[in-house]
Amino acid sequence: MVAEVERRGSLKRWANHALFGWAALETWIRKYDRKRSHFAVRVEGQPTVDDAMFTVCLNTDPYTFIGTRPFTVAPEATLDRPLSIVTLRTLDAIPLARILSSTLGSGKRLRNDRNVSFHSDVTHVEVDGYGPVPHQVDGDYLGDVEHLELRYEPDTLSLVIPRATPR
């Protein structure tokens, strides 16, 4: 989906949310094989998810915003904790709609959905594709790979975080 947005980069500034929505729908309908699993996800100490269709790795939540509404995937994901990994096992319309509706609320129903594998406080995860798999980091498409390894490395990057102003 991010690759589709980047192909239309000149529109990104003017049609931001609409462009991402359109790209997601177009990718889901026409450009992504929803009939077979694309990769396996291995989280240290957990059973392998070998029927993965889509995975998000987070260190903060919300994942993004739709307008001013948060898209909540892993409420416990914070900069003070290791990673949260959320893997979808299906992209079929009805389960996907149920999953997406949860993200527009508290995001807590995700954890109990049989089509979702949810892991929190993850320090190491590996993704093995059944062929090349597209991936992106912070909204930038980085190409297709057959293997990804992600690690939580505390105190590696210094961040400036503004204080909340009292109201």
For the chain, give every domain's residue range.
1-32, 34-151
Give dist(CA 10, CA 129) in Å, integer. Answer: 31
The top-level CATH class assigned to 34-151 is mainly beta
Element (H, E) at 134: strand 124-137
- pLDDT, residue 22, reads 54
Q: What is the pLDDT of residue 2?
A: 44
Q: How far apart are CA 90 and CA 113, in angstroms?
A: 11
pLDDT tens per residue across span 12-34? 444 455 556 656 666 656 666 76
Residue 106 has pLDDT above 60, yes or no: yes
Q: Which of 1-15, 23-37, 72-86, 111-125 has the lowest mean pLDDT?
A: 1-15
**Residue 155 confidence class, pLDDT cut points 50, 70, 90:** confident
Q: Does position 128 have pLDDT exceeding 70, yes or no?
A: yes
Strand arrangement of the beta sheet that strand 49-52 belongs to: 49-52, 39-43, 124-137, 140-151
- What DSSP state is assigned to residue 53? S
| Residue pair 40/50 in contact by the 8 Å Cβ criterion | yes
- Is-cis flag, bond preceding 62, omega within 30? yes
User: Over the stretch 35-76, which tens digit does the pLDDT of each residue have?
Assistant: 888 899 999 889 999 999 999 999 999 888 877 888 888 988
Let me know: does 100 contact 71? Beta carbons within 8 Å.
Answer: no
